[in-house]
Amino acid sequence: MSINRRNFLKGALAGGTLLAAGAPVEARPNKTMPPDAVGLLYDSTLCIGCKACVAACKEANDMPPEFSTTEQLWDTPLDISGKTLNVIKMYKDGTGETKDVEKDGFAFMKVSCLHCADPSCVSACPVSAMTKDPVTGIVGYDKSICIGCRYCVAACPFGVPRFQYDRALPQISKCQLCRHRIADGKYSACAEVCPTGATLFGKVTDLQAEAKRRLALKPGEESQFPRGNLNTHDQSPHTAKVAHYIPEVYGEKEVGGTQVIKLSAVPFDQLGMPKLPERSYASVSETMQHTLYGGLLAPLAFLGVLTYVAKRNVKDDENDDK
Ligand code: SF4
Ligand code: SF4
Ligand code: SF4
């Protein structure tokens, strides 16, 4: 009734061959955004902290107010949450006297989904409730598919998706670039109401060119900045003095690029924007998964072969005993 040693070794050899076949999978490159992807350019130096964009976002997306004061008189969200898709945060150092200065100054930063070119929330979602539109590149969410696992919350390098813990039927909450408005021929509400053009909507390639144009301007000189929709010129431009920009477009390279890009005169990490590699998290995790599963398949196949050999040998031994 024992396993025949010769057959065991034959099985082990077959399993070894399968193991060898489970060679590591090549790392996949970053995915790129569609050519006609749309997004936002947020220029911190033009932002006056009026929060019109926060109010417009709430109204356009039917989100409830959120209170951070005991009086509960005003909608006063301090961060994005299950009730708030967009906030303006403030940086302040020392005396906080001068705008757009790192030391003893202050600056603003818009916080909302960046619509990554290769989004890790989409990669992590096991049921495809998070998807990236093949034309606009907008990262959308389908509450009817979502199972509430919160993998997207853990996967996002910017901490964007939020879970509505306080609701009986919780959903994930995140900016979807006002895709319902875009479907109606409009554009992002936050960009539409921004009085200075600090939040500007448009085709990402044109927003990137506009960002580069601003970086090439002479600091201190007066210049004109488009407002609203960069591609339709639906609003008259805003006139302001050119700031001392950090020579960097945030979102141009981070995790493979984002469709919401940013300019600032204060280092981005001071404004809460993380320093990230150019390699997308999705490409890294998907490569690891494939390598891991590829490596797991071989041992599983090996185990299967061993089980088959053991069963067959037991039968053979039983027949031999007869
Ligand atoms: S509406 Fe424009 S200027 Fe006002 S807080 Fe928002 S981004 Fe800044
Ligand atoms: S910022 Fe986060 S939630 Fe938005 S697309 Fe990128 S990974 Fe997804
Ligand atoms: S694009 Fe729409 S949902 Fe996103 S932050 Fe702006 S107003 Fe809010």
| Spans of all domains in the chain | 5-29+283-321, 38-273
What are 110's strand-pairing partners? 88
Contact 11, 168 (CB under 8 A): no
Residue to mutate, 80, 133, 190, ligand 3, most ligand atoms under 8 Å from C-beta = 190
Strand 172-173 to 162-163 pairing = antiparallel
Question: 38-273: what fold?
Answer: Alpha-Beta Plaits (3.30.70)
Among 188, 200, 207, name the best residue to mutate to test ligand 3's pocket (greatest count of ligand atoms within 8 A of Cβ): 188
- Residue with CA nearest ligand 3 atom 1: 177
Ordered DSSP codes for 242-288? PP---S--BTSSGGG-BSEEEE-SS-GGGGTPPP--SS-HHHHHHHH
Which pLDDT score is estimated for 290?
58
Distance CA 80, CA 174 (A): 8
Q: Which residues contact 322 (CB under 8 A, 6 or more apart)?
A: none
Please give the DSSP secondary-structure letter assigned to residue 116: B
Nearest-CA residue for atom 1 of ligand 1: 194
What is the tens place of the pLDDT at every residue in 98-141? Answer: 999 999 999 999 999 999 999 999 999 999 999 999 999 999 99
Atom of ligand 1 nearest to the CA of 56: 1
Query: For residue 258, what are the β-bridge partners?
Result: 116
Q: How far apart are CA 98 and CA 244, in angstroms?
A: 13
Nearest CA to ligand 3 atom 2: 178
Q: Atom 4 in ligand 2: which residue has the minimum CA distance?
A: 113
For residue 296, how many other CB atoms are within 10 A of its CB? 11
Mean of all residue pLDDT scores within the chain = 87
Query: Within 6 Å (CB) of ligand 1, which residues are found?
Result: 47-53, 88, 108, 110, 193-196, 198-199
Q: What is the mean pLDDT of residues 158-177?
A: 95
**Which ligand number lies closest to the CA of residue 160?**
2
Is residue 301 pLDDT above 50, yes or no? no
**Which of the two residues, 9 and 210, has the higher pLDDT score?**
210
Query: Which listed ligand is nearest to 51 at the C-alpha?
Result: 1
Going through the chain in order, the beta strands assigned E by DSSP cover: 38-43, 87-92, 98-99, 105-111, 130-132, 139-141, 162-163, 172-173, 199-203, 222-225, 238-241, 260-263
User: Which tens digits make up the pLDDT trace of 38-58?
Assistant: 999 999 999 999 999 999 999
What is the arrangement of strands in the sheet containing 98-99, beginning at the earlier edge strand?
Answer: 87-92, 105-111, 98-99
pTM for this one? 0.84
Residue 85 in contact with ligand 3 by CB distance below 6 A: yes
Nearest CA to ligand 3 atom 6: 190
Whole-angstrom distance, CA of residue 280 vs CA of residue 116: 9
No. of H helices and E strands in the chain? 8, 12
Kindly identify the ligand whose nearest atom is closest to the C-alpha of 123: 2
Cα-to-centroid distance, 242 and ligand 1 (Å) = 17
CA-based angle 200:204:205, to the nearest 5?
Answer: 120
At residue 296, the pLDDT reads 54
Mutational test site, ligand 3, from 41, 47, 81, 85, max ligand atoms within 8 Å of CB: 85
**Ligand 1 midpoint to CA 199 (Å):** 7
Q: Is the CB of 194 under 6 A from ligand 3?
A: no
- Rounded Cα–Cα distance for residues 36 and 207 (Å): 12
> CA separation (Å) from 262 to 68, 207, 230, 305?
27, 10, 15, 56
- The pLDDT, as a whole number, for residue 117 is 98
Strand 222-225 vs strand 238-241: parallel, antiparallel, or unpaired? antiparallel
Q: Is the pLDDT of residue 292 over 50?
A: yes
Atom index in ligand 3 nearest the CA of residue 86 equals 5
